[in-house]
Structure 1
Amino acid sequence: MKFYILTLFPEMVMSGLNTSIIGRAIDNGYIEIEAINIRDYTIDKHNKVDDYPYGGGAGMVMQAQPVYDAFKAIVEKAGHDLPCVYLTPQGRTFNQSIAKEFAILDEVVLLCGHYEGIDERVLEEIVTDYISIGDFVLTGGELPAMMMVDAISRLVPGVLHNDDSTVQESFSNNLLEYPQYTRPEEWNGKKVPSILLSGNHAKVEKWRYDMSVERTRKYRPDLLEQ
C-alpha cells in the first residue's frame, strides 16, 4: 500500500514514520510513504502558500493553487485517480472500522491542513473523504495523518510479524483488549492471574473474553451499545 502525504512539513512526517514497526514495513516493501511538500508547488515568488481570509477573522488560510497543483502532480505520477482524505475536525471520527476500510486500498492521499484551514474551493475539487481524530483542534494535520498511517499499516498483511495480532486487540469486536502480562510471575507484590499459567487454553480464552467485556463496560460502555 502507498500513502501520499501532502504537507508543509514533510520532514516532520517522515522522521516520525521511519522508525519502529512502520519503518521496518517500509524497508521490507509492505508499504510506501511519500511526503510531498505543498510549498514546492506555489507560484508565489516568496514561496507563500497562505493568505488572509475573505470576510476577515484571525489567522491565515492555505491557498487553493499550491494544494491543487501538488495533488494533480501526484495523480499524474500515479497515472490514475486517487482518493484524497482531508484531515480536519469537521470529518467523521477515525476508528478501527475506518482503518479497515482504508487498509484494502492500494493508494491514498492524506491532505494536511495548517493555519486556519484550506480554501474551500480546492477541497470541493479534490477531497473524497473528511477524517477527524477527535473533538479537539491541532496546529496541523500532520499528527493525524501519521496516526492514520500507523493504524492502517498494521492491518496490511506482513507488516506485523504475526497477522493474528490484529484479531484480538481493542475494538476488533467492539471490545477493549484484555489485560496483558509477561515475566516475572510476581512483580512488586502483584502476581500474574493463575489462569494464565494453567495451560488450559479454553479457560484462558474465556478469561480473556470476560476481562475484555468487563474492561469495556468500565471504560467504554458506549461500545457495548453498538
Structure 2
Amino acid sequence: MLSIESLNQFYGQSHTLWDLNMQVPEGKCTCLMGRNGVGKTTLLQCIMGLLPVESGAIHYQGENILSLSAEKRAPVGIGYVPQGRQIFPLLTVEENLRIGLPARGDGLRQIPDFIYELFPVLKEMLHRRGGDLSGGQQQQLAIGRALVVNPKLLILDEPTEGIQPNVVAEIGDIIRQLNEEIGLTVLLVEQKLPFARKVADNFCILDRGRQVATGDMDELNDELVKKYLTV
C-alpha cells in the first residue's frame, strides 16, 4: 500500500530522516514508534506533502506521490489525523466534517451515515462548535473528518494523546473495526505501548531519523522496548 524508499529530509542544515525505508502493508495496521524527536511526525508530514523531501521516494499504491501537492494527496485516498487534532474550533461539528467532502473522488457531498454510527457523539453534537468539545470528542471529530474523504489509507499521529482512558479504548476498538471489517490500511504513531499492542499488526521503530527495527507486533520484545522506547 505505502512504501518509503531511501527517504532523506532536512530542516535547514539539520538532517532529520536518513535513508529511511519503511513498508505499510495493505489491510494492516502498522505502528510507527520511537522516542520523542526521532522523526515520526516529520515522516508523516513528508507522506502528506507538508514538508519537502531531499531525496528518495514515497510510493502509494505503486505510484511515486512526491510530485503531488499536499492538497492532492487526500483525493488519491489518504486520510490524515495530525497530532493535536487541528479541528476548526469556531466551526460546528457538521461544518468540520463537511470540509473533507470536496476531497472525495466519488462526488458525494453529504456526510456518510457510517461516520455517525462509529461516533454517535458527533451526531448528538452536530451543531456545537468544535472548540466546545472535550479532548476525546475533538479526537473523534478529527478521525471522522479524515474518514469523510473515503480514504484507503488512514494516518493517525498519536490519537490517544491527552485523552481520557475510556475514549482511548473506544478509539482503539474503532481502529480495529475499520482495519478488520472494511480493510482500511492504517499507519499509526503511538507512544502508549499497551494501545499499540492492542491495535497494530506490525511495528517500525525509528531512532535519530533511521529505521532500527521492524516486524510483527508480537516480535516487539523487552530488549527493543528498553533500547528504543523507554524514557
Which TM bucket (shorter chain)?
A: under 0.3
TM-score normalised to structure 1 length: 0.25
Larger relative CO (CA 8 A, sep 6+): 1 or 2? Answer: 2
TM-score normalised to structure 2 length: 0.24
* Structure ranking higher in strand proportion: 2
Structure number, greater radius of gyration:
1
